[in-house]
Amino acid sequence: MNKKRVLSGIRASGRLHLGNYLGAVKGMLALQENPEYETFYMVADLHTLTTPYDPKTLKNDVREVVLDYLAVGLDPEKSTLFIQSQVPEHVELAYLFSTTTSLAKLLHLPTYKETLKLHPQHSTVALLYYPILMAADILAYKAQSVPTGIDQEPHIEITREIARKMNSQHGTDFPEPQRFVTEGEYVPALTGEGKMSKSIEGSYINLTDDLETIKRRLAGAPTDSGKGENVPEKGGVANLLIFVELFQGRKIRQEYEKAYTGSGIRYSELKEGLAKAIFEELKPVQERRKRFEQDPELVEKILSKGAEKARNVARETLDETKKAMGLV
Ligand code: TRP
């Protein structure tokens, strides 16, 4: 049987938080365990260069994400784990794809405009090129399924367009990939506004946080009097209830909702219970992380094997594409 392929990646901008975990990593794990799929998971270090970063810490930042991957249960026996820049075929393929990508389309992409707004001093060609490289990441493996957060949807759409254009102009056989959607794909910020993000202090919980840290971060989440006619649909309380549902289940959420319109919620108790539930889920992850932290040689071995395997697949796609485009 020919297995369907999966590719995903996360940028190396620090340790993973619950937003990455629920939005992307849980999908990555689910597909890894599904025997119908062959899974390729990378750290997108080249994409990390599109916004300000520190070259002195980059290598370490990449290793942190690799450790988080291994800690959450991505298994080198089941998934190919690698670092994007160690498979230079992605970049070459991206260049070939750029010949079929419209400039206007890229300039109007919401993700491009938003990032530019955040970093107005860093308007670079690399940032504009971001979606093309991402399309190459995915299509180098002819991946059909991409477990990633909902914010990446515009990039997956561009990937499908590139696949269609390449196939119609050059007769290649790229699939049109779909985003693999998970239950917790939109993870709100603890601050009550927007999504959980590394760049917003107080908005996130890291996978490596201990119980005390989780409690401290939850303590900062805004609440209200705990009572009212209607359960809030937006803001701090609404977000806390989303976390309750994700980590303690729908039933407990419903109990809190009932309390809100009745006797009132005591947030100190809610936050205590929620912190414990989150930590319960993170504990085994942190224990596994420690084991890999103690064996950097093993981690390097996993990565070099992963890169070799990824390169073999990506090179085949690149060769086919070059042939189709008349280069060889
Ligand atoms: N852009 C993705 C993010 O910020 C990271 C990424 C790079 C990616 N290449 C990818 C995700 C390919 C999925 C597939 O989360």
Spatial distance between the Cα atoms of 252 and 124, rounded to a whole number of angstroms: 47
* Nearest-atom index, ligand 1, CA of 7: 14
Mean pLDDT, range 149-177, rounded to an integer: 96
Question: Atom 11 (ligand 1): residue with closest C-alpha?
Answer: 9
Residue ranges and CATH numbers for the domains of the chain are: 4-186+296-324 (3.40.50.620), 211-289 (no CATH)
Nearest CA owner, ligand 1 atom 6 = 9
User: Which residue's CA is minimally distant from atom 2 of ligand 1?
Assistant: 10
Look at ligand 1, atom 3, and give the residue with the nearest C-alpha.
Answer: 10
| Ligand 1 cavity residues, CB under 6 Å | 7-11, 44, 47, 134, 137-138, 146, 148-149, 152
**What confidence score (pLDDT) does residue 79 get?**
98
Say if residues 278 and 18 touch (Cβ distance below 8 Å): yes
d(C-alpha 157, C-alpha 6), whole Å:
16
Span 89-102, mean pLDDT?
97
**Does the pLDDT of residue 193 top 80, yes or no?**
yes
In order of 129, 191, 244, the CA distances from 184 in angstroms are 29, 18, 12
Q: Packing angle between helix 89-98 and helix 125-139, nearest 10 degrees?
A: 110
What letter represents residue 277's amino acid? Answer: A
In this structure, the residue with its CA closest to atom 13 of ligand 1 is 8
Distance 14 CA to ligand 1 centre (A): 15
> How close is the Cα of 153 to the center of ligand 1, in Å?
10
DSSP characters over 13-54: SSS-BHHHIIIIIHHHHHHHT-TTEEEEEEEEHHHHTTS---
- The pLDDT value recorded for residue 1 is 63
Distance 11 CA to ligand 1 centre (A): 7
Long-range pairs for 99-105 at CB < 8 Å and ≥24 separation? 99/325, 100/162, 100/165, 100/166, 100/169, 101/132, 101/158, 101/161, 101/162, 101/165, 105/158, 105/161
From ligand 1's centre to the CA of 45, what distance in Å?
A: 10
Rounded distance from Cα 148 to ligand 1 centre (Å): 7
Task: Give me the torsion for CA of 212, 67, 58, 18, rounded to 10°.
Answer: -50
H or E segment to which residue 158 belongs? helix 153-170
Q: Quick one: DSSP state of residue 148?
A: -
252 C-alpha vs ligand 1 centroid, how far in Å? 34
Choice from 5, 6, 8, 142 to test ligand 1 binding pocket (greatest atom count within 8 A of CB): 8
**Span from the CA of 10 to the centroid of ligand 1 (angstroms):** 5
Sheet holding 37-44, edge to edge: 79-83, 37-44, 4-11, 145-147, 178-180
User: What average pLDDT does the chain have?
Assistant: 95
How much of the chain, in percent, has pLDDT values that exceed 70?
A: 100
Per-residue confidence (pLDDT) for residue 287, from 0 to 100? 97
Strand ranges in the chain using DSSP code E only, listed in sequence order: 4-11, 37-44, 79-83, 145-147, 178-180
Model confidence over 242-292: pLDDT tens digits? 999 999 999 999 999 999 999 999 999 999 999 999 999 999 999 999 999
In the numeric block, which tokens belong to residue 2? 């020919």
What is the pLDDT, as a whole number, of residue 187? Answer: 87
Query: Which region among 83-97, 193-207, 221-235, 244-258 has the lowest average model confidence (pLDDT)?
Result: 193-207
The predicted pLDDT at position 200 comes to 84
